[in-house]
């Protein structure tokens, strides 16, 4: 085999290795962008959750005002009114606590997804380096074998 073909084969192995290395980098960058997108999504979910809490509190305040007016108009004050107010307060607190807990769960799941994306990106990068190293080693071995023969 002509020597220039051996050199050309080694050169092509280098190009292939560079492509594998860059592919690993690109996959890592894509996973990092995905993790960033998930971080933005987490912030949006928190804002939405706070808005839901505020809406629930506003609706509760409106309902309490309306029911208080109704109780006073009918002359129902005293223990039944106090019991109603306590039950209403408990329901609103339970609803807000449920919204807060759901936000916590969503945030934990989101953080896990971010960590997974970053880990996958790191694994893709390492795989790219290993594949590139393997390609270079194989190309060099083939070059040496061709040059010797």
In tens, the pLDDT along 6-41 reads 888 889 999 999 999 999 999 999 999 999 999 999
Give residue-wise pLDDT tens across range 94-134.
999 999 999 999 999 999 999 999 999 999 999 999 999 99
Contact 128, 27 (CB under 8 A): yes
Alpha-carbon gap, residue 37 to 42, rounded angstroms: 9
Residue 43 has pLDDT above 90, yes or no: yes
Rounded to two decimals, the pTM is: 0.70
């Amino acid at each position: 085999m002509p020597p220039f073909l051996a050199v050309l084969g080694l050169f092509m192995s280098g190009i292939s290795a560079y492509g594998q290395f860059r592919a690993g980098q690109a996959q890592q960058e894509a996973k990092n962008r995905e993790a960033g997108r998930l971080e933005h999504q987490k912030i949006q979910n928190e804002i939405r959750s706070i808005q839901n809490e505020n809406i629930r509190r506003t609706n509760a305040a409106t309902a309490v005002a309306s029911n208080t007016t109704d109780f006073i108009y009918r002359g129902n004050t005293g223990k039944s009114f106090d019991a109603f107010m306590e039950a209403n307060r408990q329901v609103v607190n339970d609803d807000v606590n449920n919204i807060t807990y759901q936000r916590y769960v969503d945030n934990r799941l989101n953080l896990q997804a971010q960590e997974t994306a970053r880990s996958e990106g790191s694994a893709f990068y390492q795989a790219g380096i290993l594949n590139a190293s393997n390609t270079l080693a194989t190309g060099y071995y083939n070059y040496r074998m061709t040059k010797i023969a």
